[in-house]
Amino acid sequence: MGARRWPIWTGLAVAAVVFTYPFAWLVSASLKPRPDVFDNALIPREWAPENYVTIWSAAPVLTWLGNSVVVALAAAATVTVSSAIVAFGFAYFRFPGRNALFALVVGTMMLPGAVTMIPTYLIWNELGLAATQVPLWAQNLFGSAFYIFLIRQFFLGVPRELFEAARVDGASYWRLFWRIAVPLCRPALIVAFVFELRASWSDLLRPLIYLRDPALFTMPRGMKAILDQFGQAGEARWEVVLAGAVLTTVPMIIAFLLCQRYFIEGVATQGRKG
């Protein structure tokens, strides 16, 4: 057995190095003085934590990180609650047009985001909100097809007798949703929440479209501004850019390590019966 296993271990170990090395390099290089940036030593020969001081004074990174936290939390909270409400509608009730409507929900998952990007911008522009952070999360108030699909699967697993018993006791539909379905399906809601948190945290395209005022930038949008300022001028200051990249990445890595079970569960369910 042991003899047959070693190719597996070698393969996995090599892949693991390829997948983790860029992180290690990123963090380490962000702590090196400028001439050493391309040096591959994972432990800096000379430490330069002042790169973080430089970026701190060159850009409002604390504001950007704060903006990202607010936007990502708003996006994740709204999409989770609204998708759960809609998912309950599809899971519990039997009504005319249910299957057709649900097929429509699933169908919209295939619609490329680039297609609705322009008219959506025009809507927010008409509403006078185009230059604010509102467009970055407010659409989530209406639920999102993938999360509706995911949460509905969990709601369908709740034994119907539980609902029927509560109905007999005179519970309202809202109560069935809020007091029975939601508590029993908490893992699905957490999956939706952390998924959207990640998506929102990483988004660059929408902040590029909507945000003009640097005080409103999210961290990835700010990161792009740092790169424009320090990376593409005549003399690139990569150590500052790298410190920015670390600040953009590390909060998400921490969130992932804390809730990795939910991230991975969410992905694993995607491939099943889609």
Partner 1 sequence: MARRETWAAYGFLSPWIVGFLVFLAGPMVASLVLSFTDYDVLTGAEFVGADNYRTLFGDPRVRTSLGNTLFYTALHVPLTMVVSLALALLLNRAGRRSAGFFRTVFYLPTVTPKVAVGVLFLLLFNGQSGLVNQVLGPIGPDWTADPAWIKPGLVLIGAWSLGSTVIIYLAALRDVPRDLHEAAQMDGASAWARFRAVTVPSISGALFFTLIINTISGLQTFDEVYTAFYGSANQQTYGSDAALFYVVYLFQQAFQFLHIGYASALAWLLFGIIMAVTLVQVRLSRRFVHYGGG
Q: Which residues, numbered 99-118, are part of the site for partner 1 (CB under 8 A)?
A: 101, 104-105, 108, 110-118
Closest contact distance (angstroms) between CB of 218 and partner 1 is 10
Using CB under 8 A, which of 42, 53, 258, 270 touches partner 1? 270
Using CB under 8 A, which of 42, 53, 204, 215 touches partner 1? 204
What is the dihedral sign for C-alpha 59, 62, 63, 65?
positive
Nearest CB to partner 1, comparing residues 123 and 162? 123
Judged by CB under 8 A, the stretch of 42-50, 57-65, 184-192, 223-231 that binds partner 1 is 223-231
Closest contact distance (angstroms) between CB of 248 and partner 1 is 5
Q: How far apart are the first and last CA of the chain?
A: 37
> Are the CB atoms for 80 and 192 separated by under 8 Å?
yes
Distance from C-alpha of 146 to C-alpha of 255, rounded to nearest angstrom: 21
Judged by CB under 8 A, the stretch of 45-53, 55-63, 182-190, 257-265 that binds partner 1 is 257-265
Structure tokens at 28: 């380490």
Each residue 73-92 as x (binds partner 1 by CB under 8 A) or -, in order, gives ---------x--xx-xxx-x
Using CB under 8 A, which of 189, 238, 240, 262 touches partner 1? 238
Using CB under 8 A, which of 1, 2, 213, 232 touches partner 1? 232
Nearest CB to partner 1, comparing residues 63 and 255? 255
Distance from C-alpha of 51 to C-alpha of 104, rounded to nearest angstrom: 50
Binders in 54-73 for partner 1, by CB under 8 A = none
227 binds partner 1 (CB under 8 A): yes
Query: Dihedral through CA 160, CA 166, CA 172, CA 175, nearest 10?
Result: -80
Residue of 233, 213, 230, 196 lying closest to 77 (CA atoms): 196
> Are the CB atoms for 263 and 197 separated by under 8 Å?
no
249 binds partner 1 (CB under 8 A): yes
CA 238 centroid distance within chain: 26
Nearest CB to partner 1, comparing residues 125 and 186? 125
Binders in 135-194 for partner 1, by CB under 8 A = 139, 141-143, 148, 173, 177
DSSP-based three-state secondary structure for 235: coil
Structure tokens at 181: 């379905």
Distances, alpha carbon 167 to alpha carbons 85, 91, 156, in Å? 18, 16, 17
Nearest CB to partner 1, comparing residues 96 and 183? 96
Closest contact distance (angstroms) between CB of 49 and partner 1 is 19
47 binds partner 1 (CB under 8 A): no
What is the dihedral sign for C-alpha 14, 19, 20, 25?
positive
25 binds partner 1 (CB under 8 A): yes
Using the structure block, give the residue that is written with the tokens 């390829």: 18
Closest contact distance (angstroms) between CB of 26 and partner 1 is 6
Distance from C-alpha of 196 to C-alpha of 259, rounded to nearest angstrom: 13
